[in-house]
């Protein structure tokens, strides 16, 4: 095990008291730990950047499968409904990772200070997930960020700078040109990301593809095609998955009834909600809650 990767493992373990996501003293930075492999779980992958120090994870986005392990990263510039599981983890060698929530403003500012690249928007067809190898510079910056978890006063000043540095190394990676398109105003990736934020902020509203397209100055046909190319699903399918994910969160985290949760996310029929929930999560809401 390389020195910096070994050190990153130690630092993550120090701040990961339990399996799963562990909050830290730095806003937007969390430590991930799993001491055993997990089954496939459907859920929403919030826009984030994950650096894996140890273990292996797998993400499915429709027909695409992304496997990434130690010294690799996964970057999602937008929220995506996915199926994920931890493939490799044990009590002696747990899955360990450092997660940074993407700040689109910071990402855009870092991107704007970098030289223009020759790639054009038209040839960057990709789903909104990117995986690659962590560079030595990126790993070293991740270690410095993890060290700041134990220094809250220093972190207030230094953590934002280190996070910007990590963004910089990401944008210089082979995936950088494509990721930059999500923060570059006027590109179709940026327009789709803007539409997705609108969908999330107005989750209970009825969806109108023509209106969404008009808001980002795209034709309905071009918008629909670009949305599906980037997210691997149509706008209506995407909204449905977002609604179900938010309803599930309300049921599990805020003890909402299935009926109340379904109405809050925009469903008009509880029976339709139950059918679609069962289709995605494998069992009805009430059984899903009791199985936890």
Q: What pLDDT, in 10s, does the model give residues 35-89?
A: 999 998 888 888 899 999 999 999 988 778 889 999 999 999 888 888 899 999 9
Domain boundary among 180, 208, 237: 180
Instruction: pLDDT band for 229, please (50, 70, 90 cuts).
Output: confident
- CATH number of the domain residue 222 falls in: 1.10.10.60
Domain boundary among 180, 201, 218: 180
Q: Which residues are 60's β-sheet partners?
A: 65, 83
Same domain, yes or no: 75 and 196: no
Q: Of 192, 200, 193, whose CA–CA distance to 226 is shortest?
A: 192
Within a 10 A sphere around the Cβ of 231, how many other Cβ atoms?
25
Same domain, yes or no: 239 and 189: yes
> Region 23-31: what's the mean pLDDT?
96
Same domain, yes or no: 113 and 8: yes
Q: Is 164 exposed, middle or buried (0-12, 13-18, 19+ CB in 10 A)?
A: middle
Instruction: pLDDT band for 128, please (50, 70, 90 cuts).
Output: confident
Q: Could you report the per-residue pLDDT of 87-120, keeping only the tens digit for each?
A: 999 999 999 999 999 887 888 889 888 876 555 4
Range of the domain at 220: 185-292
Same domain, yes or no: 34 and 137: yes
Whole-model pTM above 0.85?
Answer: no
Q: Using the predicted structure, report yes or no on whether residue 132 has a pLDDT greater than 80.
A: yes
- CATH number of the domain residue 97 falls in: 2.60.120.10
Structural domains in the chain (count) = 2
* Element (DSSP H or E) covering residue 189: helix 188-201
Q: Could you report the per-residue pLDDT of 233-266, keeping only the tens digit for each?
A: 899 999 999 899 899 989 988 889 999 999 999 9
pLDDT of residue 197: 87
């Amino acid at each position: 095990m390389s020195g910096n990767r070994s050190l990153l493992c130690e630092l993550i373990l120090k701040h990961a008291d339990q399996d799963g996501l562990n909050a830290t003293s730095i806003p937007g930075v969390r430590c991930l730990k799993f001491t055993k492999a997990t089954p496939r779980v459907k859920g929403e992958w919030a826009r984030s950047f994950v650096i894996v120090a140890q273990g292996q994870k797998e993400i499915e986005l429709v027909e695409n499968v992304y496997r990434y392990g130690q010294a690799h990263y996964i970057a999602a510039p937008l929220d995506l409904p996915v199926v994920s599981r931890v493939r490799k983890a044990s009590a002696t060698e747990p899955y360990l990772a450092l997660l940074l929530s993407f700040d689109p403003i910071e990402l855009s500012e870092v991107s704007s200070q970098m030289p223009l690249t020759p790639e054009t928007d038209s040839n960057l067809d990709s789903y909104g997930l990117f995986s690659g190898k962590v560079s030595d510079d990126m790993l070293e910056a991740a270690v410095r960020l993890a060290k700041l978890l134990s220094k809250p006063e220093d972190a207030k000043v230094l953590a934002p700078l280190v996070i910007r540095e990590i963004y910089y190394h990401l944008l210089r990676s082979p995936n950088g040109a494509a990721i930059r398109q999500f923060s570059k105003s006027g590109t179709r990736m940026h327009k789709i990301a803007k539409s997705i934020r609108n969908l999330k902020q107005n989750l209970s509203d009825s969806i109108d593809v023509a209106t969404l397209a008009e808001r980002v100055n795209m034709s309905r046909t071009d918008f629909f095609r670009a949305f599906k190319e980037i997210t691997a699903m149509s706008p209506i399918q995407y909204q449905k998955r977002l609604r179900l994910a938010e309803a599930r969160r309300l049921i599990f985290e805020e003890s909402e009834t299935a009926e109340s949760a379904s109405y809050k996310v925009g469903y008009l029929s509880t029976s339709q909600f139950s059918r679609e929930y069962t289709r995605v999560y494998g069992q009805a809401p009430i059984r899903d809650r009791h199985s936890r």
